[in-house]
Each structure stands twice: as structure tokens, then as C-alpha cells.
A = this chain, B = another copy of it.
């Protein structure tokens, strides 16, 4: 199995509902360093998993829809906690939709799966992985 990973980041505000979150129930924020991994059983004719430049562009585009926002105000997240693990799924699913729409090129249609890790600090991170 092969994989290629590209890294980018986003800076958002949000708050959580639920006693388990303690002081994080207040409006605060986070930088998420985002690693998007694309998996594939074998390489294509160019000897690549995916066009790394295009992967970086598409990840950047997905994050641009979240970056510099207060996620509490985003209709897409109404009534949900935008935890690190939940946002990892959001980014992975949006990337998957772009892959399936052909935005990452024809080669990307042969991908086996996507994994996304969001680092919220030097001591905590969360991941979500899914097939394609």
C-alpha cells in the first residue's frame, strides 16, 4: 500500500456544548495543522499516488471554507460540536467528494482511501480515515 500526505493549516474560533468540555465551553479558538493522506494500492503510469500539487491545492480549497471563521456561526455545523475528531471527518469527507468529482484528476479515482489528522497543539491530535 502506498500513501502521499500533504500538510496545511486553518485558524478558527468555536465553543463546545456539554459539561465534559469544561472551560472549552467558552468561545475560544484553535490552529489546526491538517495532514491529508491519500492511499492507493499501486502507483499510476507516472509512478505517483496522486498529483501532489493538486492534492495540496484541493486541501487548501477545503480549508479555505473553514479558515478565519467562527464555526459556531456556520450553518453546516449548527447543533453539533466541532471537535477536532469531528472536523477531521468533515475535511476527509469534503476531500473525498472532490476526488469523486474529478477535482484531483483521473488518477485520483483509483485511490483506496483518505485519512485526515488535525493537530490542535504539540500534545494533542485527532484523525479520521475512510475508504474511497
Contact surface of A with B, Cβ cutoff 8 Å:
1-9, 11-14, 16, 18, 20-24, 26-33, 43, 46-49, 51-53, 56, 67-70, 80-86, 88-89, 105, 120-130
Contacts and interface: CB of A to CB of B under 8 A. Distances in A.
Q: How many copies does the complex hold?
A: 6
Given A48-B83, A124-B56, A127-B3, A13 B27 contact: yes
Nearest to A39: B127
Given A3-B126, A43-B89, A48-B85, 11 more contacts: A3-B85, A3-B127, A3-B128, A9-B122, A11-B29, A16-B46, A20-B105, A28-B69, A33-B121, A43-B83, A48-B83
Contacts of A12: 28-29
